[in-house]
Structure 1
Amino acid sequence: MIMYNPLHPAKNMDLRQIVYEKIKQAIVSGIIKPGEKLSEVELAEKMAVSRTPVREAIRQLAKTSLVTLTPRKGAYVSLPSISDAGALYELREDLEMFAAALVSVNPPEKELKEFLEIFKHMGNDTDPQKYLEEDRRFHAFLYQSSGNRFLMNSLQELVDVINLYRPYSLGDTEYIRHLAEGHVEIIEALLARDEKRVREAMRAHIRMSRARLEAYLNTHTSERLPLRP
């Protein structure tokens, strides 16, 4: 007699998770832009799946604030608002200052020196996508290196929304150099194991990003904000 195994691979669940991750990545990377409507039919066709896992993925994404469900209109990729940006970056500032302070106790020198070389060689002529990629990698590395799993989990819950907002914080490309210099200051403070300096550098970096984001949102009030390529 063959017994039913409740731990048998859940293929349908796997498919739903795959669809969810693919749509989420398309949103965070800017392939599907803020303000754009999510069509279940089009997404299902592109991924060669039925509409059911797409519908479930969209509902799940709505819980993360990446997607907004509008009655009788459908689902849209969330548009950043000034009030939401302020609330998010206030929380981000506190959490990332704490994470960086924890890392300063025993900084992973090899990886930090590699990041230091990357950001030292960035300027206003740096490809914005390259900066964003390294920026995401660096902050994710700090989260993981904090050694506090509860803090890391809290930051991981926010990271998708932070990544949605990140491209707007660039402003014009002239700010890439300033933002890269902020990373250099954070890393040098970490390598010096100077917790106070680390906190101040992280606060300054997050506040600069927030200021650029709010300035951009203040001057772009159309229904669909253009995401930087």
Structure 2
Amino acid sequence: MASAKPISDETSTTKSSALRTDLPPGQDAYQQIVSDIRAGNLLPGDRLTEVDLAARFGMSRTPVREAIRQLEADGLVMHTPRLGATIRTLDHSEISELYDMRAVLESTAARFAARAGSGVELSEIETIQAAMSAARSSEERYRQNQNFHAAILDAARNRFLLRAVQSVQKTLLILGRSTMEEPKRAEDAVREHAAIVTALRSRDEDEAERAMRLHIQGAHAARLRQLRDARPLDSDNHEL
């Protein structure tokens, strides 16, 4: 079964990543655009123009066009009349629905991991948790958080569940910066991860599922706070 690799191993940056010569040009362009979305350099509603992106990435328009098509297939980009390709915008209801689905799927993954994960896999999850606890930067916390959730999906051993979770995670990239950049949320996440690890080690399926659900609910609340804080004070739009 394919490993549950994080969607992108790149950490958040303030500018686009350098050209990845180890990837096909279309995939390289895709990864760079995804990195910019996650870093908040490309925001919901922003236009994606082939000419500008090709110049910025130092490549022809063809791989950029391929990347935009893939982003559209993934639900991250939509075509808007008179604007062309734009980063998709999620409203409050869609965000809540995505986190509800994430809670259902990832809590199920934790239950499956408690049942089916090998001792080696559970040790790896614990090691990743320790690395996240020791992390001193938001970029490292983000990376270890991604690794933690990917390792649980691997231990769950269910390829259909894996694909469903990855689909939700891709759409959530539209929301931009990780909530791990908020120190209080990062501290809470470390404690929540520790509770998940304890349940996994005890092979307690019910507690593993419950702990993961609480963790995702905490992430949802942090995301709503982040979006609320970023909203202009004079905005008449009550959607997040």
TM-score range, shorter chain: 0.7 to 0.9
State how 1:1-229 maps to structure 2 within 5 Å. Answer: 14-28=24-38, 30=39, 32-35=41-44, 36-107=46-117, 108-121=121-134, 126-165=136-175, 167-170=177-180, 172-222=182-232
What secondary structure does 1:69 align onto? strand
Q: Quote the residue 1:5 is aligned against.
A: none
Question: How big is each residue's C-alpha offset from its partner over 1:16-62, in whole Å with a ceiling of 9 and x where there is no partner?
Answer: 3443344334433x163323332211211233332233123213212
Q: Answer whether contact 2:141 2:180 (CA < 8 A) is retained.
A: no
* Length-normalised TM-score, structure 1: 0.79
Question: How big is each residue's C-alpha offset from its partner over 1:169-212, in whole Å with a ceiling of 9 and x where there is no partner?
Answer: 34732221011111111111111111111011101100011011
Question: How big is each residue's C-alpha offset from its partner over 1:100-139, in whole Å with a ceiling of 9 and x where there is no partner?
Answer: 11100133232022123224435xxx42222111111111
Structure 1: gaps of 5 or more residues: 1-13, 224-229
The 10-residue stretch of structure 1 (113-122 or 182-191) with the greater mean CA deviation from structure 2: 113-122
Deviation at 1:88, TM superposition (A): 0.5
What secondary structure does 2:42 align onto? coil
Which whole-Å CA distance do the structure 1 matches of 2:182 and 2:57 have between them?
34
Deviation at 1:79, TM superposition (A): 4.0
Q: Residues 77, 119 of structure 1: CA spacing in aligned structure 2 closer, same or farther, 3 A cutoff?
A: same
How many pairs align?
206
What secondary structure does 1:75 align onto? strand
Structure 2: gaps of 5 or more residues: 1-23, 236-240
- Equivalent position amino acid for 2:127 in 1: E
Deviation at 1:80, TM superposition (A): 4.4
Q: Answer whether contact 1:170 1:213 (CA < 8 A) is retained.
A: no
Which whole-Å CA distance do the structure 1 matches of 2:72 and 2:148 have between them?
27
- Equivalent position amino acid for 1:204 in 2: L
Which whole-Å CA distance do the structure 2 matches of 1:166 and 1:202 have between them?
22
Which whole-Å CA distance do the structure 2 matches of 1:121 and 1:54 have between them?
38
Q: Which one has a bigger Cα radius of gyration?
A: 1
Q: Answer whether contact 2:48 2:87 (CA < 8 A) is retained.
A: yes
Q: Answer whether contact 2:128 2:147 (CA < 8 A) is retained.
A: no
Q: Answer whether contact 1:61 1:67 (CA < 8 A) is retained.
A: yes
* Length-normalised TM-score, structure 2: 0.75
Q: Residues 78, 168 of structure 1: CA spacing in aligned structure 2 closer, same or farther, 3 A cutoff?
A: farther
Deviation at 1:163, TM superposition (A): 4.1
Deviation at 1:164, TM superposition (A): 4.3
Q: Answer whether contact 1:168 1:216 (CA < 8 A) is retained.
A: no
